[in-house]
Structure 1
Amino acid sequence: MAAQTGESASTVLVCGEVRTCLLPTTQALDRRGAAQLLGLRADMYVRVSERPIMHVLSPETLTGVDCRLPASDGSRTRAVGTVIGRAALTEGRLLQTTSYFGLPAVGPDTRRPWGQYLVRPGIVEPFGTLPRKATAAGVLQGARRGELDTGTIAEGLAAQLCRHELLDRRAPFASAPTRLRWVALRTGGDKPAALTNFTLAEDGLRTVKLRLPPDVPASAAAGLCEDLALHDWLLTHVQRMLDDHPFDRADDSRSLAALRPAVTHLLHLWMPRAHVDGALAHLWDTLEAAPGFTRQWQNLVQRIRDQLTLLDLAQCRRAASSKGCEE
């Protein structure tokens, strides 16, 4: 059964997780290779966008779940339904896998036949009343054993794709994946969409809290969080390259080797909101105000350019000195 991008307006909470990593292959995939990699379903097309930056989005898949929901207050609410999974590839280089689902305020007291869950893709129904705030907090804290874990679903999809025969499993530089967990509470009345919290935790974990109007589909929230996760990954890794390999005036080759991956593979990927639903694109303004994603990025890019300029000047001086000695 094909997954649909829209979900019932009766949902009061949407939850998901995004995994972002460098595609393990020497050369970035072109449009055809990216579409082949992300062809998760034979009966649905891969979506390819080449402007303003190449972005390839897989068809959606469904994973059936029947387990407890995470909850910060220790409640043990059982839920049944389907979780949507999908993958995206940016410029043939950065892979993202996402899983997400929506929850209604109240579900049935008994389990329905599976067919009734399949006709509502991406909906997970609680038994009885949903402890909304406790579930949202529990998702952000992380699922425990026996609880619904969107991260495991996203990680499994990433592992599947990274084993694809198209890939030579030789990444152009060392990197680490990041995880972004998100929850979106549905708003009532005329309250607009909002990004209320963005945090950096240890071990590559980020968390995001959103307010989402009832007419904005869960897929739009997933797309926004994918965009945030991608640009956070870029910031994290370019910063790490500069911190781990400081400019070495005595060894130009070492400095160039440290800067080359950023210049060759990453600097051209910065394009916030390029593939975010128009209803949520303005939420980037929150991150531009504080912590200031693009200001941070521009500072990193300028540091790289300054170091390249210094390297060029040093090489010119050595060349001039060597020429003077020969004369």
Structure 2
Amino acid sequence: MRSPRDSTHAVLACGEVRTCLLPSFQPLDTRAAAHLLQLRSDERVLVSERPQVYALSPDTLTGVDCRLPAAGGAKVRAVGTVVARAALTEGRVLQATAYFRAPAAGPDRRQPWGHYLVRPGVLEPFGKLPEQALAQGILRDPQKGELHLGLIAEGLLAQLRRHPLLDRKAPFKSRATRLRWVALRASDGEGASIERFTLAEDELRTVELRVPAAEEASAVAGLCEDLALHDWLLTTVVRMLDTSRLGASGGAATVLALRPAVDHLLHLWMPRAHVDPALGPLWEVLEREPGFSRQWQTLVQRIRDQLALQAIPLLREALASR
């Protein structure tokens, strides 16, 4: 797990993704999306229009010197930089990610900042890194004084939400979700795998991965962003159906409740559209259990059935008026 700009050999990578609806009544086009995500003047925003409109910001770095979350009472201090970036899908769904990777061991003494700046996105521990303890600790809520990747991601998200391009008039109500992830290095000769995916309370999801040492940390972050995006879509549409009171109301009320899903969300479902091909097969695991696309297709069919049912009385009225 390394960066294209750095040859540091990491034994794990960790991150958190925050996903939310863009606070704008109209989705942003590609030019506006690029303007929104221009976090640095020296690097351009990556924009693609196929198979869907997608924009990815340049990386930004946050310097840290603090304890890392670790299970079992392990005390781990690390110094380095955390990568943060943002993505916008179809001008509608905004994501912010913060992540880092760490080697098996670091220097016993703190180095000058120049040492860390030439290793972007790397946190070096003091001495040996307790990999398993850190992997377990990163998925729980950080304690006081520990690194909080979610706050870094949330800070970037808040910055983008205040951008003057946005009118702060979202077309419907929704909640943000959080996905925490940790990727340990796979054994030699083994491919990438998903060890565990968990739905926790308060819109929190956690995922544990194994990835080959040669896989770039940015690609792992991209996989987790894709997972977070589609989990947010499922969560949002399920909540939309739950609050629409299908069966208890009808006619215009049902159409109004379901229209945001049709107008803004149903066309966004496209797993693996922006995932590194080497990691794409991991989606097959999620399709088997918990069955992301099966659930999505069921929700889409339910919405279409309800809209068809509401159209029948209107058709009858039109025929009767002839």
Is the TM-score greater than 0.5? yes
Q: Match of 1:276?
A: 275
- 1:296 and 1:249 mapped to 2: Cα distance? 23
Aligned 8 A contact 2:81 2:117 in 1: yes
Q: Are residue 229 (structure 1) and residue 194 (structure 2) matched? A: no
- AA aligned to 1:226 is E
In structure 1, the residue corresponding to 2:63 is in which secondary structure? strand
* Ranges of 4+ aligned residues in structure 1 off by more than 3 Å: 3-9, 248-251, 318-321
Aligned-pair distance for 1:253?
Answer: 1.3
Change beyond 3 A, Cα 1:216–1:123: same
**What SS class does the counterpart of residue 158 from structure 2 fall into?**
helix
Percent sequence identity over aligned pairs? 63
How far apart are the structure 2 equivalents of 1:60 and 1:249?
48
Contact 2:106 2:125 in 1 (8 A): yes
Task: Indicate if the aligned counterparts of 1:9 and 1:215 stay in contact, CA closer than 8 A.
Answer: no
The aligned residue for residue 170 of structure 1 is 169
Q: What amino acid is the match of 1:123?
A: V
1:207 alignment counterpart: 206
CA distance in 2, matches of 1:153, 1:78: 18
User: Does structure 2 retain, via aligned residues, the 8 Å contact 1:7–1:122?
Assistant: no
8 A Cα contact 1:69 1:135, kept in partner: yes
Letter in 2 for 1:280: L
RMSD: 1.4
- Give matches, 1:188-267, under 5 Å: 188-248=187-247, 251-267=250-266
**Matching residue's letter, 1:84:** V
Aligned residues: 321
Q: Deviation at 1:208? A: 0.4
Query: What corresponds to 1:123 in structure 2?
Result: 122
CA distance in 1, matches of 2:299, 2:8: 42
Give a deviation string over 1:217-249, Cα, whole Å, max 9, x none: 000100000000000000011111111113247
Q: Which residue of 1 aligns with 2:146?
A: 147
1:251 Cα shift? 3.6
Written as runs of structure 1 = structure 2, the 5 A alignment for 1:11-50 is 11-50=10-49
Q: Is the 8 A contact 1:5 1:218 kept in 2?
A: no
* SS at 2:121 equivalent: coil
3-state SS in 1 of match to 2:13: strand
Moved more, 310-319 or 68-77: 310-319
- TM-score of the pair, normalised by structure 2: 0.97
Q: How far is 1:149 from its partner?
A: 1.1
Residues 6 and 274 of structure 1: CA distance in aligned 2, closer, same or farther (over 3 Å) = farther
Partners in 2 of 1:181 and 1:244 — Cα distance? 27
Q: Indicate conservation of the 8 Å contact 1:9/1:214, yes or no.
A: no
Offset from partner CA, 1:102-157 (integer Å, 9 cap, x none): 01111111000000000000100000111110111000012111111111100000
d(CA) in 2 for partners of 1:152, 1:231 = 22
Displacement, 1:316?
1.9
- C-alpha distance in 1, partners of 2:110/2:117? 13
CA 1:144/1:309 → structure 2, altered by over 3 Å: closer, same or farther? same
Deviation at residue 317 of structure 1 after TM alignment: 2.6
1:57 aligned partner, one-letter code: L
> CA contact under 8 A between 2:8 and 2:119: conserved in structure 1?
no
| One-letter identity of the residue aligned with 1:93 | R
Partner of 2:128: helix, strand, or coil?
A: coil
2:183 corresponds to which residue?
184
Asked if 2 retains the 8 angstrom alpha-carbon contact of 1:7 and 1:217, the reply is no
The TM-score, its normalising length taken from structure 1, stands at 0.95
Letter in 2 for 1:40: L
**8 Å contact kept, 1:182–1:208:** yes
CA separation in 2, counterparts of 1:16 and 1:220? Answer: 12
Query: What is the deviation of 1:191?
Result: 1.1
Q: 1:50-65 to 2 correspondence within 5 Å?
A: 50-65=49-64
Label 1:319 to 1:195 Cα distance change in 2 as closer, same or farther (>3 A). same
Gaps of 5+ in 1: none
- Residue in 2 that maps onto 1:160: 159
**Aligned 8 A contact 2:38 2:57 in 1:** yes
Is contact 1:6-1:217 (8 Å) kept? no
Aligned to 1:316: 315
The CA distance in 2 between the partners of 1:184 and 1:102, in whole Å, is 9
User: Would the aligned equivalents of 1:180 and 1:229 in 2 still touch at CA under 8 Å?
Assistant: yes
Deviation of 1:90 after TM superposition, in Å, equals 0.1
